[in-house]
């Protein structure tokens, strides 16, 4: 597996693969890779002949006071894992390579509606930063398909929308969330949890399952259902940012008549913000 740091080298390597008749798959990441990321690489490798991954901690999607500076940078370990998982090319650009004219004058991509509310409400500008960097990366790599984790459900919806709205000929694949044995969704941010917090963290997924079970059993009084579960999270020592039931396609608040639902949560455990979700289609047997 080759690692390249410039757009010029990236384009040359992808052009070589294309000239050999290969289909290109792409997995954008911010590094500090874990088995969740490896599942994305494996999925891409099953579908195409040449897998490109990127590692770029994108300053444009971090707000003031967020964890940009302490976001773990573990390039050597990441390269080793990517190689094992079947990645062919790693693009690991600098900030200057991605934003040569600085970030202030960077053209932005903004996806209305889907990017508002949920994480968009607590992290203003976050999804503009994601949509902008993903659009740039898509234009640099020009893949046939790209794979993203369903753990970032709202992010995936935003990326599907931008690809559709900007007529990008890229197939977007959402891969199911990889979980630890106790249910905690794998995330680079889990490394910030101390031992005691790590023991408490699985309550986040248990909360989603409790809500899903209640809905399957017929409950439709969503505000009361959510309020009770928010109290459970607080009792466990978390500070919920949001806990919501939304329509899975549009992400608008769910009505009791909706059948395709997603339950989404963001909650702070100490200073670490955990997010998770559970997709529940009442017309599809579990």
Q: Where does residue 111 rank: exposed (0-12), middle (13-18), buried (19+ CB within 10 A)?
A: buried
Instruction: Map residues 80-109 to x or -, x wherever contact with ligand PAF holds by CB under 6 A.
Output: ------------------------------
CA distances, 84 to each of 42, 78, 79, 145 (Å): 10, 10, 9, 21
Q: Rank residues 135 and 229 by Cβ distance to ligand PAF and give the closer one.
A: 135
Residue 28 in the binding site for ligand PAF (CB under 6 A): yes
- Phi, then psi, of 178 in degrees rounded to 5: -95, 135
Of 70-78, 95-103, 128-136, 275-283, the window that binds ligand PAF (rule: CB under 6 A) is 128-136
Minimum distance between the CB of residue 7 and ligand PAF, rounded to whole angstroms?
16
Report whether 149 belongs to an annotated binding site: yes
* 30 makes contact with ligand PAF (CB under 6 A): yes
Positions 33 through 72 that interact with ligand PAF (CB under 6 A): 58, 61
- Smallest distance from the beta carbon of 113 to ligand PAF, in angstroms? 19
What is the token pair recorded at 61?
């999607």
61 belongs to an annotated ligand binding site = yes
Does 25 bind ligand PAF (CB under 6 A)? Our answer is no
Given the complex with ligand PAF, which of 188 and 229 has the nearer CB atom?
A: 188
Catalytic residue among 37, 88, 126, 279: 37
Rule CB under 6 A: say whether 130 interacts with ligand PAF: yes
Cβ closest to ligand PAF, residue 134 vs residue 251: 134
Q: Are 212 and 228 in contact (CB under 8 A)?
A: no
Alpha helix segments (H runs only) across 143-279: 153-165, 195-200, 203-216, 222-235
Helices marked H in the chain: 7-19, 35-47, 75-85, 95-98, 119-122, 126-141, 153-165, 195-200, 203-216, 222-235
- SS3 call for 119: helix
d(CA 279, CA 166): 26
Residues binding ligand PAF: what is the number (CB under 6 A)? 10
What is the distance, to the nearest Å, from the Cα of residue 219 to the centroid of all Cα atoms in its chain? 29
Per-residue binding letters, 141-170, with ligand PAF (x by CB under 6 A): -----------x--x---------------
Beta-carbon contacts of residue 194 (< 8 Å; ≥ 6 apart): 270
279 is catalytic: no
Q: Are 277 and 151 in contact (CB under 8 A)?
A: yes
Query: Using the rule CB under 6 A, which residue among 7, 52, 87, 133 binds ligand PAF?
Result: 133
Beta bridge pairs of residue 2:
89
Could you list the residues known to form a binding site for (R)-pantoate, using ranges. Answer: 61, 155
Indicate which residues carry an active-site annotation.
37
Q: Site residues (CB under 6 A) for ligand PAF?
A: 28-30, 58, 61, 130, 133-134, 152, 155
């Amino acid at each position: 597996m080759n690692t390249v740091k410039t757009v010029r080298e990236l384009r040359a390597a992808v052009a070589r693969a294309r000239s050999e008749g290969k289909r290109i798959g792409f997995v954008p990441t911010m590094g500090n890779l874990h088995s969740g990321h490896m599942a994305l690489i494996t999925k891409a490798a099953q579908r195409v002949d040449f897998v490109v991954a990127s590692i770029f901690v994108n300053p444009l999607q971090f707000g003031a006071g967020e964890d940009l500076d302490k976001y773990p940078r573990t390039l050597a370990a990441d390269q080793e894992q990517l190689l094992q998982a079947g990645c062919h090319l790693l693009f690991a650009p600098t900030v200057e390579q991605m934003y040569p004219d600085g970030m202030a004058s960077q053209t932005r991509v903004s996806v209305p509606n889907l990017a508002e509310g949920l994480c968009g409400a607590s992290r203003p500008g976050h999804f503009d930063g994601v949509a902008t960097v993903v659009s740039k990366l898509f234009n640099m790599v020009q893949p046939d398909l790209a794979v993203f984790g369903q753990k970032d459900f709202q992010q995936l919806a935003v990326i599907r929308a931008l690809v559709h709205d900007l007529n990008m000929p890229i197939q977007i694949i959402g891969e199911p969330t990889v979980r630890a044995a106790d249910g905690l969704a794998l995330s680079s941010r889990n490394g910030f949890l101390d031992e005691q917090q790590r023991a408490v963290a699985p309550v986040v997924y248990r909360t989603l399952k409790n809500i899903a079970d209640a809905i399957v059993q017929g409950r439709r009084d969503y505000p009361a259902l959510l309020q009770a579960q928010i109290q459970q999270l607080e009792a466990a020592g978390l500070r919920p940012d949001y806990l919501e039931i939304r329509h899975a396609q549009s992400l608008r608040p769910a009505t009791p008549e909706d059948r395709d639902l997603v339950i989404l949560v963001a909650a702070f455990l100490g200073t670490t913000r955990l997010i998770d979700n559970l997709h529940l289609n009442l017309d599809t047997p579990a």
